[in-house]
Amino acid sequence: MREGAAPYGLMPNAAMRIVNDRIAWVGSAAEHEARSGEERLDLGGRLVTPGLIDCHTHLVYAGNRANEWAMRLAGATYEEIATSGGGIVSTMDATRAADDGELLETSATRLRKLMAEGLTTVEIKSGYGLDLDTELRILRVARMLGRTPEIDVIATFLGAHAVPPEYSDNRAGYLRLLIEEMLPAVAAEGLADAVDAYCEGLAFTTAEVRAIFERARALGLPVRLHAEQFSDSGGAAMAAELGALSCDHLEYLSPEGIEAMAAAGTVAVLAPGAYYYLHETRKPPVEAIRAEGVPMAVSTDHNPGSSPMLSLLTAMNMACVLFGLTPEEALRGATVNAALALGLTDRGSIETGKLADLAVWNVQSPDELSYALGNNPCHRVYKNGIPREL
């Protein structure tokens, strides 16, 4: 996954030295000089990749929405369900009613499933609380999930996910709450690494998101955006102007949006799971994104409404089959470009000085990682140089 290297940056017959939590040397096995006192591990010729990174999930919530899934299969649309009291608000009700122990336990179970496929970093958004107390509780649970040497959790504040029912005829009031109370509280407690918003007809306008993002930036928090999923609202260009780390979904992304993202170095995070579950037909403009040199990442977008999937390898497969990524682009999207989407430059590739976050696979070629659905060829994971139980 090194920049400018051969396909995948693949090195046959390679060796690696790990010192503490870092990669200290990478080269050919023939050049490797054993040092006394070092432990030597033979991985049996297996493929080693950077640990996988899921850069967009909504993992902390209560309940599920299988009932809505059945309704959609019977013909209801995502928008109809959302405007008739279901959707994000139904998960909000369940989440507000759940205590911290239940939230922690159900999300830890989901996280375990994701981690089994070689994940070493995961991003988790809030956004199913939509009041100050519950949003903070969700972020604290996300922080708790990261309080283990086994995985790094990056937390994102998504209070601007939907307008909660108590503010349905007072949008301005909810925006004030977001900007004047929630954002400063999240920043003061150090509960988020970034701020996200849902910029869509169903949720927030570009102008509303701009106001939220300007406050976030003033508080020193980077921003990223759910943009252009069902319509082109110009959100991606607005977010890129504010230096957004990523814009996510992007089915309706315009040439102007791509240009703004390219200029700002904003990552395009694809969410093929939501496209698949919602039977969308308009694909993100992958060829133009590629042509403009905008880095692409691939995520599960795990959430109970539009993408209840718990497999990043499956998202990689869908990005290839549904959106036309190459298997190499899919793997870059789940490693080095996913790290970029999170503003992290210390991981995502196998290079001297980077974190020793590694996945070891029972495959012959990295093309196999996005190939067989329902197959998890992960053999072992190293997080910060330490082997982790699968």
Q: Which residues bind Fe ion (CB under 5 A)?
A: 301
Residue 161 or 388: which CB sits closer to ligand DI6?
161
Q: Which does 87 bind (CB under 5 to 8 A by kind): Fe ion, ligand DI6, none?
A: ligand DI6
- C-alpha torsion 48→51→52→56, nearest 10: -170
CA distance 111 to 122: 9
Maximum C-alpha span of the chain:
71
Q: Indicate whether 274 belongs to the interface with ligand DI6 (CB under 6 A).
A: yes
For ligand DI6, the binding residue among 17, 210, 215, 226 (CB under 6 A) is 226
For ligand DI6, the binding residue among 49, 57, 91, 233 (CB under 6 A) is 91
Residue 137 or 224: which CB sits closer to ligand DI6?
224
Q: Indicate whether 126 belongs to the interface with ligand DI6 (CB under 6 A).
A: no
Residue 59 or 331: which CB sits closer to ligand DI6?
59
For residue 59, which of 100, 98, 108, 94 has the smallest C-alpha distance?
108
Q: Which two tokens mark 284? A: 């993100």
DSSP track, 61-126: -SS--HHHHHHHHTT--HHHHHHTT-THHHHHHHHHHS-HHHHHHHHHHHHHHHHTTTEEEEEEE-
CA distance 305 to 57: 12
Which residue's structure tokens are 């106001």? Answer: 211
Q: Which two tokens mark 1? A: 């996954």
Cα separation of the two ends of the chain: 23
Q: Indicate whether 271 belongs to the interface with ligand DI6 (CB under 6 A).
A: yes
Residues 26-55 that bind ligand DI6 (CB under 6 A): none
Q: Indicate whether 301 belongs to the interface with ligand DI6 (CB under 6 A).
A: yes
Q: Which does 107 bind (CB under 5 to 8 A by kind): Fe ion, ligand DI6, none?
A: none
Residue 215 or 226: which CB sits closer to ligand DI6?
226
Residue 205 or 362: which CB sits closer to Fe ion?
205
Residues 146-185 that bind ligand DI6 (CB under 6 A): 161
CA distance 335 to 302: 17
Residue 24 has phi, psi (to 5 degrees) of: -100, -20
Residue 247 or 264: which CB sits closer to Fe ion?
247
By CB under 6 A, name the binding residues for ligand DI6: 58, 87-88, 91, 161, 198, 226, 271, 274, 301, 303-307
